[in-house]
Chain A
Amino acid sequence: MREPTFYGTPLPGAGREPLSGKLIVVEGTDGVGRSTHTALLRSWLEARGHAVIDTGMTRSVLAGRGIKEAKAGTTLGRLTMQLFYATDFADRLENEMLPALRAGFVVLTDRYIYSAIARAVVRGVDPRWIRAIYGIALVPDLILYLRASRAEELVTRVLSSGRKFDYWESGMDLNLGADFYDSFVAYQTRLLREFDRMSEEYGFRTVDASRTVRRVASDLRRAVARVLDVEAEEEDEEEALTSDPGPRTPDFYNG
Chain B
Amino acid sequence: MISYGQHHFPGKLFVVEGTDGSGKSTQLALLHQWLKSEGYPVFFSEWNSSPLVKDTTRRAKKRRLFTPTTFSLLHATDFADRTERDIIPPLKAGAVVLADRYIYTAFARDVARGCDRSWVRDLYRFAVRPAVAFFFRAPLDVAIDRIVSGRPALKYYEAGLDMNWADDPEESFKIFQGRILEEYDRMVGEFGLTVIDATRSIERQQREVRRIVMRHLAERSEAA
A77 to B46, CA, bound (A): 18
With A9-B119, A77-B85 as given contacts, are A126 and B1 in contact (CB-CB < 8 Å)?
yes
What sequence of 0s and 1s flags, for each residue 65-102 of chain A, a beta carbon within 8 Å of any chain B beta carbon? 11001100101111110111011001100110000000
A62 CB contacts on chain B under 8 angstroms: 56, 60, 65-66, 70, 74
Confirm or deny: A162 has a beta carbon within 8 angstroms of a beta carbon on chain B.
no
Number of interface residues of B (CB under 8 A): 34
- Contact status B114-A12, CB under 8 Å: yes
- Contact status B84-A79, CB under 8 Å: yes
Confirm or deny: A228 has a beta carbon within 8 angstroms of a beta carbon on chain B.
no
B123 CB contacts on chain A under 8 angstroms: 83, 132-133
Confirm or deny: A135 has a beta carbon within 8 angstroms of a beta carbon on chain B.
yes
A191 to B187, CA, bound (A): 39
Cβ < 8 Å to A, chain B residues 118-160: 118-119, 122-123, 125-126
A79 CB contacts on chain B under 8 angstroms: 1, 80, 83-84, 126
Distance between B49 CB and nearest chain A CB, rounded to angstroms? 13
- Contact status A83-B80, CB under 8 Å: yes
Q: Which of B55, B70, B84, B126 contacts A90 (CB 8 A)?
A: B70
Distance between B212 CB and nearest chain A CB, rounded to angstroms? 30
Confirm or deny: B26 has a beta carbon within 8 angstroms of a beta carbon on chain A.
no
What sequence of 0s and 1s flags, for each residue 55-87 of chain B, a beta carbon within 8 Å of any chain A beta carbon? 110001000011111100110110011011100
B116 CB contacts on chain A under 8 angstroms: 9, 12
Confirm or deny: A129 has a beta carbon within 8 angstroms of a beta carbon on chain B.
yes
Confirm or deny: A13 has a beta carbon within 8 angstroms of a beta carbon on chain B.
yes
Residue of B nearest to A129 (CB): B125
B55 CB contacts on chain A under 8 angstroms: 66, 69
- Contact status B73-A86, CB under 8 Å: yes
Distance between B145 CB and nearest chain A CB, rounded to angstroms? 31
Cβ < 8 Å to B, chain A residues 130-188: 132-133, 135-136
Name the residue in A73, A90, A135 with the highest tally of chain B Cβ atoms < 10 Å from its Cβ.
A90
A18 to B50, CA, bound (A): 39
Confirm or deny: B3 has a beta carbon within 8 angstroms of a beta carbon on chain A.
yes
* The 7 A-B residue pairs with the shortest CB-CB distance in the complex, in nearest-first order: A77-B84, A66-B56, A83-B77, A12-B114, A87-B73, A79-B80, A80-B80
What is A's interface to B at a CB cutoff of 8 Å?
8-9, 11-13, 61-63, 65-66, 69-70, 73, 75-80, 82-84, 86-87, 90-91, 94-95, 124-126, 129, 132-133, 135-136
Besides A73-B52, A133-B122, 12 more A-B contacts (Cβ < 8 Å) are A62-B60, A62-B65, A75-B51, A75-B52, A77-B85, A83-B73, A87-B70, A87-B73, A94-B69, A94-B70, A136-B69, A136-B119
